[in-house]
Amino acid sequence: MPRPKVYVTRRIPREAMAILEAYCDCRVFAQEDTPVPREMLLAEVADVDGAFVLLTERVDDELLAAAPRLRVVANMAVGYDNIDVAACTRRGVLVTNTPGVLTETTADLTWALLMATARRIVEAQKVIERGEWRTWSPMFLTGQDVYGRTLGIIGAGRIGSAVARRARGFDMTILYHNRRPNPDLEAETGARYAGFHELLEQSDFVVVLVPLTQETHHLINEDALRRMKPSAILINASRGPVVDETALYKALTEGWIWAAGLDVWEREPIGPDHPLLALPNVVALPHIGSASIATRTRMAVVAAENLVAGVTGRRPPNLVNPEAWDRRPAAAEGADQGG
């Protein structure tokens, strides 16, 4: 049996590469740490059975048409809005992601952003760097308290729940809004389900952790921002397009809300000329929610394991579109049964 061919769109940790190389012939876009140019990607996938991709790659009908042998797309991320899953399913291409392994790391970063925004940490460092710290002064760089306040979590999945668990240590009132109530979260943290508007109106911190879908695109729009308290802080650690940045700019400059901490952006990467960066009440990060050494390594390993499973005929552990598994030709022949 010839070894499956896979394309890897970036240099990845060696632990993950070793898993791929044990089973597959691999080509890697290793020229630099930037996304593979689209034309090159389309050419590279022409003869592959599997693709190891990042959230910087768009997997759509055009790519699938250019990859007639493709059977598995392994995304090195839990979110997969970069992939047209329906198009993959139509063509019987398996799609996988990396849930679970990044939950706690992303919850840590969400809290780091919340704390930094509330207590003006970045702004304060800049004051020292500019030589503007003259004396202790009663209201110098005063921020918002975190302890004992109300945290509103929009999207109480794995990461949202991990954020809520941390809030217990700050004795916070926890509200959450989700597609479905989450009784486990309520039992564990005392969180209370709230309607979307109620959560916006009552929370001191609104933390957004929903996946990007057609329904959540610009979920935080002008209307949502106007409902928040003037002292409230918005934290987005999910996907940039969930927040309407034009509306957010107005909200921050006109005082509808107090500050925002953003790890994700409508169009990534952003540069230093992004309008929101000019505002002192914005803490800006370059999409580093899951960026610890251990977690990024684990994500790459999980994605590699998913990919190897798929291209060697096994059901990948983190399959996003089980329908594609059921529809593959081997399923019709019963080849996956009996063990």
Active site (catalytic) residues:
239, 268, 287
Residue number, 257 or 264, with CB nearest to ligand DGY: 264
In this structure, what token pair is assigned to residue 89?
């399913």
What single letter denotes the amino acid at residue 30?
A
At 146 the three-state DSSP class reads coil
DSSP string of 232-263? -EEEE-S-GGGB-HHHHHHHHHTTSSSEEEES
Residue (77 or 270) nearer to ligand DGY, CB: 77
Nearest to 56 by CA among 112, 23, 12, 113: 12
Q: Can you tell me the distance from the alpha carbon of 121 to that of 113, in angstroms, rounded to the nearest whole number?
A: 10
Shortest distance in whole angstroms from residue 102 CB to ligand DGY? 6
In terms of CB distance, is 89 or 236 closer to ligand DGY? 236
- Helix, strand, coil percentages (3-state) for the chain, rounded to 5, are 40, 15, 45
Residues in the chain: 339
Cβ distance to ligand DGY smaller for residue 94 or 242: 242
Strand ranges across the sheet with 259-262: 192-193, 173-177, 150-154, 205-208, 233-236, 259-262, 282-284
Instruction: Let me know: does 77 contact 54? Beta carbons within 8 Å.
Output: yes
Cβ at position 229, least distance to ligand DGY in Å: 28
Give the interface with ligand DGY as residue ranges (CB under 6 A): 77-79, 102, 289-290
Which of 281/306 has CB closer to ligand DGY? 306
Least distance between ligand DGY and beta carbon 299 (Å): 7
- Tokens 């540069």 belong to 271
What's the start-to-end Cα distance of the chain, in Å? 22
Q: Which amino acid is at 177?
A: H
Q: Which position has the token pair 């499956």?
A: 4
- Which token pair is 216? 């959540």
Give, for 85, the enclosing helix (H) or strand (E). helix 85-90
Q: How many CB atoms lie within 10 A of CB 177?
A: 22
**Distance from CA of residue 328 to its chain's centroid?**
29
- Closer residue to ligand DGY (CB): 188 or 268: 268
